[in-house]
Amino acid sequence: MFNKNEQDKRVVLIIDFNHLAYRYAFGGATQLSATIMVDGVPRVVDTTLPAYTIKQINRWANHGINPTVVCFDSAGSGKCRKAYFKKYHDKIASGSGDGYKETREIQDNRFYEGINITMNLLNQGGVCCLKGEGYEADDLIKAAVDKAKEQYPNLPIHIVTGDQDMVPLVDEQVSVFLSSKKLTYAEDKIYEKNHYVQLTPENVQAYMQDLTEFKGLNLPYNTVLLKKLLRGKKADGVPAYPKFTPTKFNNLVAVLEENGHDLGSLFRYDSPVSTICYRGTEEPIPTDLIESTPKEQKMIKFSEPKKLTEICDILSNYLDEDIVEHVRMVYNGVNLNGAFTGLPEQFNRRPAIMKVDIKSYDEIKLQQVVSVVQIRLIY
């Protein structure tokens, strides 16, 4: 695993807030409330979400020692991944009806108010929070991973989530702590989180193959993304290529391995290639003219990520052209922090870029902020 500095036990902690919110809102947690003064008038506020989630985040952050970032979903967007498949390609898998993503649209205002209160408290307490209009938390997690690798090249990066879509981010520096109803595991006891399994390059195949969704599939590191590209995922509305059976999938994986392809580095998320062009055209602006060209005459044109081009080039040796095009279409939709390349300009979106640093925070300051709603962090 990643070569850590023995004198520095910190990790960069990236938290997917959504799965925590759904756990405590709908997992049977005791309802909590506090009375606060608003413009001189007492008001009872539901503090269930902020109380449970902020305490959990603070514990995982080792009381503020670990550089920490918490990622939030934005409101529904016409440029989210489900919209990409349904609106832009008229393809969407039937949902399974379970999982937290399937119920996002039906929550009441109290639920979203709890999320907003939590984010405001964390922000005021000095905890880095990410939320951006048109971006899902998944996109921001990928942006945070990119920032963490740049800012902390010698620290392990831990993503805490309930979303299997994060698994392709696992590498020698990045671990995904995936929520589990049955198991608790971490390589080092100090990083253990109850009902989470730390996935690393060494154990990800054995763990994922044992999950119901992947039964019967051969999933050597790092082929979870390949499974989604070809066999879809109903819970996320991602369409599968028709009749791409487990046998076909396993045969493809075997052939790719036999022919020496590095699956661990091939099936990964990647940033789209960006080019600054004259607005309304595909003509790149010469580098020496970019600065002097008026802003209103410039636009960024995104083309498919280099990793996608590599994937399709390799798969074209083993699969029919229509299957490869299906892979290209699905990858553009599921690629974390992507740009939906190949669509008209008005449908494109810029990948999120994390401009602020990921930092530790002062637990005492956070405690002062959350004490207003009667949350106690320090005992």
Specify whether the CB–CB gap between 249 and 227 falls below 8 A: yes
Whether 296 is covered by a domain: the verdict is no
Whether 284 is covered by a domain: the verdict is no
* CA separation for the pair 320, 11 (Å, rounded): 44
For residue 4, give the nearest of 278, 176, 191, 207 by alpha carbon: 191
* CA separation for the pair 70, 50 (Å, rounded): 13
Whether 292 is covered by a domain: the verdict is no
Number of domains in the chain: 1
The pLDDT of residue 110 is 81
Specify whether the CB–CB gap between 277 and 300 falls below 8 A: yes
* CA separation for the pair 252, 250 (Å, rounded): 5
* CA separation for the pair 14, 69 (Å, rounded): 5
Whether 189 is covered by a domain: the verdict is yes
With tokens 């209160």, the residue in question is 117
Tokens for 23, please give them: 């756990």
The pLDDT of residue 210 is 94
Whether 37 is covered by a domain: the verdict is yes
Q: What does DSSP assign to residue 86?
A: I
Whether 111 is covered by a domain: the verdict is yes
E-assigned strand segments in the chain = 12-16, 33-38, 41-46, 68-71, 128-130, 157-161, 174-179, 196-199, 273-278, 298-303
The separation between CA 235 and the C-alpha centre of its own chain, rounded to angstroms, equals 16
* CA separation for the pair 254, 240 (Å, rounded): 20
Residue type, 195: H
The pLDDT of residue 269 is 96
With tokens 């831990």, the residue in question is 158
Specify whether the CB–CB gap between 227 and 175 falls below 8 A: no
The vertex-241 CA angle with 235 and 244, nearest 5°, equals: 100
The pLDDT of residue 7 is 55
Supply the CATH number for residue 43's domain: 3.40.50.1010
Please write down the long-range contacts of 155-159, taking CB distance under 8 Å and 24 or more positions apart.
Answer: 155/4, 155/5, 155/8, 155/10, 155/11, 155/12, 155/67, 156/1, 156/2, 156/4, 156/11, 156/12, 157/11, 157/12, 157/14, 158/11, 158/12, 158/13, 158/14, 158/191, 158/198, 159/14, 159/15, 159/16
Whether 156 is covered by a domain: the verdict is yes
* CA separation for the pair 306, 123 (Å, rounded): 36
Residue type, 18: N
* CA separation for the pair 227, 218 (Å, rounded): 10
* CA separation for the pair 337, 142 (Å, rounded): 6
Q: Which pLDDT tens digits describe the chain residue by residue (379 residues)? A: 444 444 578 999 999 999 999 999 988 889 988 887 666 778 888 899 999 999 999 999 999 999 999 999 986 555 577 777 876 666 655 544 443 344 444 456 788 889 999 999 999 999 999 998 878 899 999 999 999 999 999 999 999 999 999 999 999 999 999 999 999 999 999 999 999 999 999 999 999 999 999 999 999 999 999 999 999 988 888 899 999 999 999 999 999 999 999 999 999 999 998 888 888 787 888 888 888 889 888 877 888 999 999 999 999 999 999 999 999 999 998 999 988 877 766 666 789 889 999 999 999 999 999 999 999 998 7
* CA separation for the pair 198, 206 (Å, rounded): 12
The residue segments making up the domain with residue 99 are: 12-270+305-373
Whether 287 is covered by a domain: the verdict is no
